[in-house]
Amino acid sequence: MVVLTAKYQCKAGTADQVESLLREMMSLVQQEQGCIHYLVNRSEDDPDSFLLFEQYEDEAALAKHSETPYFKRIVLDSIVPLLERRERTLYTPLHP
């Protein structure tokens, strides 16, 4: 299993557009084979900030996700240009 977190800091005035695009992305990703969780959160303290929590069965499922046409269209082509900053961190869950 693999976990990815992504922090998005939006440019001023773009957060509602980013939210709309993330909602579209959520509906598509949740249907992917190998995707366990795809949770999008908008900060209450800073409405221009989003935190994504993604969990996949394995790194192959994450790689496949990153190659989908809708990932490229929505995230890379549409969301990334609206961001001041995008931070991604990969985790391996601990098991007892």
pLDDT given at position 14: 98
Mean pLDDT over each residue of the chain, to the nearest integer: 97
pLDDT given for residue 96 in this prediction: 86
Distance in angstroms (rounded) separating the CA atoms of residues 72 and 45: 29
Domain membership flag for residue 57: yes
CA 33, 37, 40 angle in degrees (round to 5)?
125
Answer yes or no: are the C-beta atoms of 25 and 70 closer than 8 Å: yes
CATH number for position 48: 3.30.70.100
Look at the chain and report how many structural domains it folds into.
1
- Six-digit token pair at 81? 């240009």
User: Does residue 66 carry a pLDDT above 90?
Assistant: yes
In a domain, 36, yes or no: yes
pLDDT at position 45 is 98
Q: What residues make up the domain containing 64? A: 2-91
In a domain, 96, yes or no: no
Q: For 28-54, give one letter per residue: b (16+ CB within 10 A) or e.
A: bbeebebbeebebebeeeeebbbebeb
Q: Which pairing describes strands 35-42 and 2-10: parallel, antiparallel, or unpaired?
A: unpaired
